[in-house]
């Protein structure tokens, strides 16, 4: 038996990276997975692969920042499944914008709209489908950038920090309704978003970024999407039945120290990365 047998799971931002790894894992564990994303072509490839492997999955177009789009998804889910068991609010964007006085208002609004408002809208319209079933698990993608700040990325920091506390608010709101709400705070994970922000493995800028992250991360490497998906599976399953209101960091130990200190000058430390 799979850990998610007979459960219906909705994953937003399912096209690539953490979302893609999660829908594949959820389907492999027995869930019927609704892969919701704005990128139709990439998601349909993932859905096809899940079906070829014997899993159950479907694609549904979703722009989490548009209320009508989220309402359409909720209507479809109610008509097709009646209720849902798992919601993984994973859709998000990120982009540098400069220091606050230079930061474009339209960029700040866009990041807040997708990352924070999108998490709110998906939760607002899909929670009633969990109430129908009498239980459920909601997982939100926060970030280590919601716990500490990054240079020139105040919009992303604000959005992810908001998700962390929004998760706790929902956990309190629905604990006695049988719905658990937790978040996952990934560190630097090897995803297409990293390629966009820092450059690919083939580019000099991307290579430099990865090397810097490898030596400053205690485990000496970037994370893999599958490692975040494994934590999402735990939170989605009944194994985490007494866990709610938590923000679980998956960052290879990066948030465990106060500042790089000796790591900045210790060549032995730098040279022990994978």
Any idea what the CATH number is for the domain that residue 177 is in?
3.40.50.720
Which pLDDT score, from 0 to 100, does residue 96 have?
Answer: 92
What positions carry a catalytic annotation? 156
In a domain, 120, yes or no: yes
In a domain, 47, yes or no: yes
Instruction: Residue 159: name the closest of 177, 145, 139 by CA.
Output: 145
Q: Summarize pLDDT for 107-147 with one digit per residue, the tens.
A: 999 999 999 999 999 999 999 999 999 999 999 999 999 99
Cα–Cα dist 135/63, whole Å:
26
User: Which has the minimum average pLDDT: 18-22, 48-52, 70-74, 216-220?
Assistant: 216-220
Confidence of residue 193 (pLDDT cuts 50, 70, 90): confident
pLDDT > 80? residue 204: no
pLDDT > 70? residue 274: no
Tell me the residue range of the domain where 39 lies. Answer: 8-192+223-258
In a domain, 207, yes or no: no
- Compute CA distances 76 → 43, 162, 208, whole Å: 18, 28, 45
Q: What is the mean pLDDT of the chain?
A: 93
In a domain, 2, yes or no: no
Q: Is the pTM of this model over 0.85?
A: yes
In angstroms and rounded to an integer, the radius of gyration of the C-alpha atoms of the chain is 19
Report the number of distinct structural domains present in the chain: 1
The better pLDDT of the pair 205, 249 is held by 249
pLDDT > 90? residue 192: no
User: Which has the minimum average pLDDT: 69-73, 77-81, 152-156, 199-203?
Assistant: 199-203
What share of the chain in percent tops pLDDT 70?
99
pLDDT > 90? residue 13: yes
Order of strands across the sheet with 56-61?
56-61, 32-37, 8-12, 86-89, 136-141, 179-186, 247-250
Which pLDDT score, from 0 to 100, does residue 250 have?
Answer: 97
- Contact present, 167 and 245 (Cβ < 8 Å): yes
Which pLDDT score, from 0 to 100, does residue 182 have?
Answer: 98
Instruction: Tokens for 90, please give them.
Output: 């994973």
In a domain, 263, yes or no: no
Cα–Cα dist 183/143, whole Å:
9
What share of the chain in percent tops pLDDT 90?
80
Average pLDDT over residues 77-101: 97
Average pLDDT over residues 201-216: 80
In a domain, 266, yes or no: no
Measured CA angle at 72 (ends 91, 86), to 5 deg: 50
Instruction: Residue 61: name the closest of 111, 9, 13, 128 by CA.
Output: 13
Q: How many CB atoms lie within 10 A of CB 272?
A: 11
pLDDT > 80? residue 200: no
pLDDT > 90? residue 205: no
In a domain, 268, yes or no: no
Q: Summarize pLDDT for 214-240 with one digit per residue, the tens.
A: 888 999 889 999 999 999 999 999 999
Average pLDDT over residues 168-180: 98
pLDDT > 70? residue 1: no
In a domain, 269, yes or no: no
Instruction: Using DSSP, state whether 172 is helix, strand or coil.
Output: helix
Average pLDDT over residues 87-104: 96
Q: Which residues of 163-188 are buried (b: 16+ CB within 10 A; e: fewer)?
A: bbebbbebbeebeeeebbbbbbbbbb
Cα–Cα dist 270/262, whole Å:
10
Element holding 22 (H helix, E strand)? helix 17-28
């Amino acid at each position: 038996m799979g850990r998610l047998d007979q459960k219906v799971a909705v994953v937003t931002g399912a096209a690539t990276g953490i979302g893609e790894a999660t829908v594949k894992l959820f389907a492999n564990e027995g869930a019927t997975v609704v892969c919701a994303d704005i990128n139709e072509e990439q998601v349909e490839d993932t859905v096809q692969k899940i079906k070829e492997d014997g899993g159950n999955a479907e694609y549904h177009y979703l722009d989490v920042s548009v209320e009508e789009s989220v309402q359409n998804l909720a209507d479809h889910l109610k008509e097709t499944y009646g209720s849902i068991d798992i919601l993984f609010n994973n859709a998000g964007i990120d982009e540098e914008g400069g220091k606050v006085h230079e930061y474009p208002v339209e960029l700040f609004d866009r990041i807040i709209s997708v990352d924070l408002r999108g998490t709110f809208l998906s939760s607002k319209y899909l929670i009633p489908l969990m109430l129908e079933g009498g239980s459920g698990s909601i997982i939100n993608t926060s970030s280590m950038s919601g716990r500490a700040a990054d240079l020139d990325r105040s919009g992303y920091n604000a959005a992810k920090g908001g998700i962390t506390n929004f998760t706790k608010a929902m956990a309190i709101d629905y604990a006695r309704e049988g719905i658990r709400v937790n978040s996952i705070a990934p560190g630097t994970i090897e995803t297409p978003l990293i390629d966009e922000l820092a450059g690919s493995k083939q580019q000099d800028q991307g290579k430099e970024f990865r090397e810097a992250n490898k030596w400053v991360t205690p485990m000496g490497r970037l994370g893999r999407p599958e490692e975040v998906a494994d934590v999402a599976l735990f939170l989605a399953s009944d194994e985490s039945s007494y866990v709610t209101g938590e923000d679980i960091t998956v960052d290879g130990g990066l948030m465990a120290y106060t500042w790089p200190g000796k790591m900045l000058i210790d060549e032995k430390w730098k040279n022990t990365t994978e």
